[in-house]
Amino acid sequence: MRIEDLAGTTIGAAVSGGLDSCTATRWLVEEGVGVVGLTADLGQPDEDDINDVAVRMRVAGAQEAVIVDAREALARAGLEVIQAQAKYEGGYWNTTGIARYATVAAIVPELTARGLTVLSHGATGRGNDQVRFQLATNMLAPGVHVYAPWRDPSFLEQFPGRREMIAYCEAEEIPIRATLDKPYSTDANLLGLTHEAGLLEELSTHAQFVEPEMGVYPQDAPDESTRVSFRFEAGVPVAMDGDESPLLEVFARANAIGGANGVGIGLHTVENRFVGIKSRGVYEAPGMELLGSAYEYLLQLILDRRARPVFDSLSGALGRQIYEGYWYDLASTALRRAIGEFTRLVTGTVHVDVYRGHAQFAGAEDAPHSLYSDASSMEGVGDFDHVDSEGFLGVLGVSARAANAGGQTSGE
């Protein structure tokens, strides 16, 4: 869609109250388009009051500014990412990607309730978020058209980059927080922060050039470990340190403990975007990393040698699906249901020592589906008889010798 298709109409816009949102909203209004700003409250740690977003959007020209609480939905989606261990290249926990789906699911009902048939977003034409917004909207509300100013030549002619957008907002007296002095861009939600662009586009810029917002870097963390315990029931963390807690509180506490100890802070990765180009990101996800590590320790007790590679295959596939925009399609639905067969067995209490960027295993108990036993002991216990391995190795040796006879082995 182009701006000329929208003149005289009113559209909904997925807005964060940031530079792109404010610029696009004022520009659309000046072009004769009414804008209803739709914001998902994702527990953004960089917003002291989420209602400030509505204030900025009204100043930018939105005729209505709607805030929808999507924190619980995002926490549940984040938990699914943990349960699947669905990270993308380099250990990225897909925190921004999964948030786009929670955002669209939250604002589409507000859009349709007002009879609006166009949803605008501020994602660039070079990134992944445009794909996530587009496909999620197409799958959840196929009658809604998606308009992206960053793909409109008229918008790009006036705003080829952040510099022009900042100057425009300053001239229009729109209260944005972005400045030319800020050397990178940040996207935030309760699961984590994504830092990119600006000076981070230069590979000569150290990852710790970023000023962390959810904690401290490992070298700045206390020189003493913190013990934390998680109780999982069928894959859901229901208690921390023995205290029953709702999911949002678990994430909040895990973020605080992980962040204070440098866990999940400052992950650098140069990743492959779905559009076919590489980009650099520096990520913060202390709660996801801490909870994810604790969950993995339980998985190690539960999955046998056939289940483990199946799980890992499903995990990698879902990680790519989330990253590339396909959370709501058939493949993701099938993957999530298959992973659910593993999730239902993840019950137990796991203790973790958190120290300067590391979440180290400190103990586990009350895990009824654990396969770990004394069978592997070096002591004279357990029901696995060493002698039984003689026949086992004899059988394996048949194929090993056959490989040699067939010229299929190498001494290199």
**Structure-block tokens of residue 193:** 């922060």
Q: Which of 21, 41, 120, 129 is catalytic?
A: 129
In the three-class reduction of DSSP (H, G, I as helix; E, B as strand; rest coil), residue 145 is classed as: strand
- Contact partners, residue 311, CB within 8 Å, separation at least 6: 85, 299, 303, 339, 342
Count Cβ atoms below 10 Å from residue 345 Cβ, excluding itself: 19
Q: Could you give the CA distance from residue 93 to residue 411 in angstroms, rounded to a whole number?
A: 41
Q: Which of 58, 114, 151, 185 is catalytic?
A: 185
Active site residue 100: yes
User: How many C-alpha atoms does 185 have within 13 Å on its Cβ side?
Assistant: 16
Q: Which of 20, 41, 152, 187 is catalytic?
A: 20
Whose structure tokens read 């108990």? 365
Active site residue 185: yes
Tell me the residue ranges of DSSP E strands in 300-391: 348-355, 358-365
Answer left, alpha or beta for residue 54, where phi above 0 means left and psi between -120 and 50 means alpha. Answer: alpha
Strand order across the beta sheet in which 265-272 lies: 185-189, 192-196, 278-284, 265-272
Count Cβ atoms below 10 Å from residue 165 Cβ, excluding itself: 20
Active site residue 20: yes
Q: Which of 26, 71, 100, 253 is catalytic?
A: 100
Proportion of the chain in helix, strand, coil states, percent, rounded to 5: 45, 20, 35
Amino acid at 175: P
Q: Could you give the CA distance from residue 93 to residue 81 in angstroms, rounded to a whole number?
A: 7
Catalytic residue IDs: 20, 100, 129, 185
